[in-house]
């Protein structure tokens, strides 16, 4: 889909996922590495357990299908070689600390002056400028800065991360969409631009809008070991099975409550609770608990009954029951379970690839979506260091693939004029269509009171007052859209939908596969109506396979994809990660694949069908752990906050209640500075191996120091010495964070009855910035505008729909 484009990838482990995704989408990605190789080549795990430039499984995972060119950018010759490549490039991605490339005369302004059509994406933890732009950082401190870490773990221990680092991936995945939006805008204007990606902003997406809780006057989620706590209600998502663990969406609300009712019915049938408890009003149970009408003891009894049910059955038996009874339940998979999954085998998600360090063919994750229409490349191996230096430098000069701009110099939004028919719900789907709206697309969200978006019941709830328009999560995902309230069970509604398909460029949906087929809205039927339509279908497990009909949310996807088992402490059950994790991770691949298909359609006129399984796409964030099994036969496990490469590395108590600071030493210099701050200069020369061996001892020393200071004081003292540290921010701290404020990350929108706080697009386009100006719509708020304005219906046609009961 992206075969015309040349991408120069200057990133290391802090951003190499971006180029990996663009390469998978067909771009020619040239990795520019320094002598000795990218720092990513020195990140564990390693093939056969031995460090070497071709052995890092992290590097292998995120550099497949790239070409490797070694250039020494500290020399005039190396910089000149790079600039010659810049002349013909379409995109340049870099993840250096702010100011580093400017010191070499390679900043974005200089590059764009040389090639005005170039799209430059800069990936950093906090952005190119602002009060924290120059802060020392690691994956752990980045996760602490964006609120996600605060919500994951056990209440009686420190917040805990996923053992396979995630923080930089959030920013890198977000950049995929930003780059493709910039290319769309370039097709109109002929102009490139600079994209500033701050991973902190995208990490906050992993809070399921919990980051907005204090701004919504709602309880902030707290750690409850694989669940959540809001106000007086503790939600538990992890339960023990006879042979492991399962994740269950054991909650309430109009959308999910019926699933809880079916689960409780099963528990009753197995003798674990009585009919009275099983028959509670699970749709409205949160309101009953908060009002005191229902004792909290009964909710504990319900959880006990579910635990007894789970303990009596294996993971396979529980999954079979979930499929039969339509329950929101999934087994918690290890990396080995993921690789051996019948569902992923059916969908050919793993494919053989040569691994040069082992001399063997191994299995590795394949493309993150199935695409019908445009041809995609087969994913091969990662390049050897400098393997393509001569090949690339001796190629004939090329020009950027700009074409003839339709409106030269235009500053229109990237997707101005794009028309999107949106059937998505919950988080992963609505998030990507929210970005489309921010970028100028007209997005018509289809919804019915008979089948409302489950996100209408998601926390945080404004003023802690439940209602169909009160969810902060739904608001954040749906700002800027138009709402069509229509009952698809009414026959007359289908004429409206068919007219909208003719109007649309894109149809996107996130139901289980049978839903769209039942309505006659599958891709084959849609392209009969509109031959060039691009349709994207995204659900938890994909459109085919034994789990295709599996219904659930991203917490279940996180269990299936391997995340849950990698978050927590070795001596305790899995602890997370928080919430619908595969929604937050897969949504970036959804957006990127859709934008790539639209780019292909713009050039060729060809539509496409995209089948993206959220649990598959999300596993790209865990690719090194999956390769550790397929290459080394080692199953990665949860490790608390310990790191394979860095030590000391942890989350330490600060003064006050549930106050913490994340601290990580990247190298000997960081450790020496920390040891001096601790007053232990006698330990300052400890080598890394010794720091790993004595980690428990060092943790005690650090905790003794941090616990006598506020989190902010400890953070400031450490950052002043260049040691990566960040207080573990929750909602209050994030809303007051000076860096997020500097970037304008939180936006107040006009609302007739309450405050409406949302987050800005997770990346900043320098020339044509995205905008969010309109609050999320009420159900059916824009019926007249859509029917009369977009479709041209007259009053009689609209009246007929009202009489038929089609409109809501």
- The neighbouring-strand residues paired with 653 are 660
Judge contact between 664 and 141, C-beta under 8 A.
Answer: yes
Contact 355, 61 (CB under 8 A): no
Vertex 775, ends 772 and 780: CA angle to 5°?
Answer: 130
* 3-class SS string, 672-692: HHHHHHCCCHHHCCCCHHHHH
Specify the residue for token string 């328009």: 469
Cα within 13 Å of Cα(124), Cβ side: 21
Tell me how far apart the alpha carbons of residues 178 and 174 are, in angstroms, rounded to a whole number.
7
Number of Cβ within 10 Å of residue 503's Cβ equals 16
The closest of 712, 761, 701, 714 to 439, measured between CA atoms, is 761
Report the chain's terminal Cα–Cα distance, integer Å: 39
Catalytic residues: 583
Structural tokens at position 727: 């207080």
- Structure token pair of residue 263: 């689960």
Here the tokens at position 234 are 């503790």
DSSP secondary structure string for all residues of 600-644: HHHHH---EEEEEEHHHHHGGGGHHHHHHHHHH-------TT--S
Phi, psi angle pair for 632, to nearest 5°: -105, -10
Closest-CA residue to 487 (of 448, 433, 516): 448
Q: Computed over its alpha carbons, how large is the radius of gyration of the chain? A: 26
The Cα–Cα gap between 141 and 515 comes to 42
CA torsion through residues 765, 768, 774, 776, sign: negative
> For residue 96, how far is the Cα from the chain centroid?
22
Contact 701, 690 (CB under 8 A): no
Strand partners, 727: 661
Helix (H) or strand (E) holding 428: helix 428-438
* Cβ neighbour number for residue 116 with a 10 Å cutoff: 14
- The whole-angstrom separation of Cα 438 and Cα 492 is 32
Q: Is the peptide bond before 38 cis (omega within 30 degrees of 0)?
A: no
Element containing residue 16 per DSSP (H, E):
helix 16-24
Q: What is the distance between the alpha carbons of residues 605 and 615, in angstroms, rounded to a whole number?
A: 30
How far is 573 from 316, CA to CA, in rounded Å?
A: 19
Give CA angle at 54 (141, 3), nearest 5°.
85
In this structure, the strands spanning 244-248 and 329-331 are: antiparallel
For residues 712 and 725, give the distance between their C-alpha atoms in angstroms, rounded to a whole number. Answer: 10
Beta-strand ranges (E) seen in 35-118 are 67-70, 91-94
| Secondary-structure percent of the chain, ordered helix, strand, coil, rounded to 5 | 40, 15, 45
Overall size of the chain counted in residues: 808
Q: How deeply is 88 buried, as exposed, middle or buried, from its count of CB atoms within 10 A (0-12, 13-18, 19+)?
A: middle
């Amino acid at each position: 889909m992206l075969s015309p484009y040349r991408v120069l990838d200057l990133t290391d482990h802090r951003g190499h996922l971006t180029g990996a995704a663009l390469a998978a989408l067909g771009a020619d990605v040239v990795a520019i590495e320094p002598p000795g190789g990218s720092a990513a080549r020195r990140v564990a795990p390693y093939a056969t357990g031995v460090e070497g430039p071709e052995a890092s499984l992290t590097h292998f995972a995120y550099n497949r299908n790239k070409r490797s060119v070694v250039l020494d950018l500290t020399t005039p010759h190396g910089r000149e070689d790079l600039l010659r490549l810049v002349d013909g490039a379409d995109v340049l991605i870099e993840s250096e600390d702010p100011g580093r490339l400017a010191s070499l005369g390679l900043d974005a302004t200089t590059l764009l002056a040389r090639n005005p059509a170039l799209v430059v994406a800069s990936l950093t933890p906090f952005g190119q400028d602002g009060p924290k732009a120059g802060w020392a950082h690691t994956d752990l401190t980045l996760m602490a800065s964006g609120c996600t870490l605060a919500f994951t773990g056990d209440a009686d221990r420190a917040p805990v991360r996923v053992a396979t680092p995630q923080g930089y991936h959030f920013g890198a995945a977000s950049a995929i969409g930003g780059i493709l939006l910039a290319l769309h805008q370039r097709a109109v204007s002929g102009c490139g631009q600079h994209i500033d990606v701050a991973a902190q902003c995208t990490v906050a997406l992993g809070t399921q809008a919990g980051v907005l809780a204090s701004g919504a006057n709602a309880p902030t989620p707290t750690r409850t070991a694989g669940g959540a706590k809001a106000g007086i209600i503790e939600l538990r998502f992890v339960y023990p099975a006879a042979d492991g663990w399962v994740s269950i969406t054991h909650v309430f609300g109009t959308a999910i409550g019926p699933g809880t009712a079916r689960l409780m019915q099963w528990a009753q049938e197995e003798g674990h609770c009585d009919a009275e408890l099983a028959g509670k009003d699970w749709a409205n149970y949160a309101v009953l608990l908060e009002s005191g009408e229902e004792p909290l003891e009964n909710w504990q009894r319900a959880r006990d009954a579910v635990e007894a049910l789970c303990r009596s059955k294996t993971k396979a038996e529980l999954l079979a029951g979930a499929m039969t009874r339509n329950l929101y339940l999934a087994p918690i998979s290890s990396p080995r379970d993921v690789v051996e999954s019948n569902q992923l085998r059916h969908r050919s998600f793993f494919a053989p690839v040569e691994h040069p360090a082992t001399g063997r063919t191994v299995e590795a994750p394949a493309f993150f979506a199935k695409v019908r229409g445009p041809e995609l490349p087969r994913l091969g191996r990662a390049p050897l260091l400098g393997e393509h230096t001569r090949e690339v430098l001796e190629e004939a000069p090329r020009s950027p693939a700009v074409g003839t701009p339709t409106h030269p110099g235009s500053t229109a939004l990237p997707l101005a004029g794009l028309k999107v028919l949106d059937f998505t719900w919950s988080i992963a789907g609505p998030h990507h269509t929210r970005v489309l709206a921010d970028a100028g697309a007209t997005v018509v969200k289809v919804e019915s009171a008979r089948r409302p978006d489950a996100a209408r019941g998601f926390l945080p709830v404004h003023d802690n007052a439940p209602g169909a328009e009160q969810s902060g999560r739904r608001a954040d995902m749906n700002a800027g859209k138009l709402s069509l309230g229509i009952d698809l069970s009414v026959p007359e509604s289908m004429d409206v939908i068919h007219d909208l398909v003719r109007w649309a460029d894109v149809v996107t949906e996130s139901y289980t596969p049978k839903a769209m087929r039942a309505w006659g809205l599958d891709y084959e039927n849609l392209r009969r109506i509109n031959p060039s339509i691009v349709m994207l279908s995204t659900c938890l497990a994909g459109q085919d396979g034994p789990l295709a009909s599996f219904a659930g949310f991203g917490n279940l996807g996180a269990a299936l994809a391997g995340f849950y088992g990698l978050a927590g402490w070795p001596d305790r059950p899995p602890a997370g990660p928080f919430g619908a994790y595969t929604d937050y991770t897969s949504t970036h691949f959804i957006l990127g694949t859709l934008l790539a298909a639209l780019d292909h359609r713009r050039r060729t006129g060809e539509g496409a069908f995209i089948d993206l399984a959220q649990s598959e796409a999300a596993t790209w964030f865990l690719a090194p752990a999956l390769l550790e099994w397929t290459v080394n036969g080692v199953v990665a496990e949860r490790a608390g906050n310990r790191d394979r490469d860095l030590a000391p590395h942890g989350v330490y108590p600060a003064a006050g209640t549930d106050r913490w600071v994340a601290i990580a030493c990247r190298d000997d210099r960081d450790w020496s500075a920390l040891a001096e701050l601790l007053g232990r200069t006698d330990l300052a020369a400890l080598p890394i191996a010794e720091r790993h061996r004595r980690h428990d001892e060092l943790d005690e020393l650090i905790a003794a120091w941090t616990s006598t200071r506020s989190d902010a004081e400890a953070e400031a003292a450490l950052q002043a010495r260049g040691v990566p540290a960040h207080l573990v921010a929750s909602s209050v701290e994030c809303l007051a964070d000076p860096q997020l404020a500097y970037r304008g990350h939180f936006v107040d929108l006009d609302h007739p009855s309450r405050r409406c706080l949302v987050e800005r697009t997770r990346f900043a386009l320098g020339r044509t910035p995205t905008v969010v100006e309109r609050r999320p719509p009420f159900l059916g708020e824009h019926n007249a505008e859509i029917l009369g304005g977009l479709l041209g219906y007259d009053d009689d046609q609209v009246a007929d729909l009202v009489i038929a009961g089609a409109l809501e």
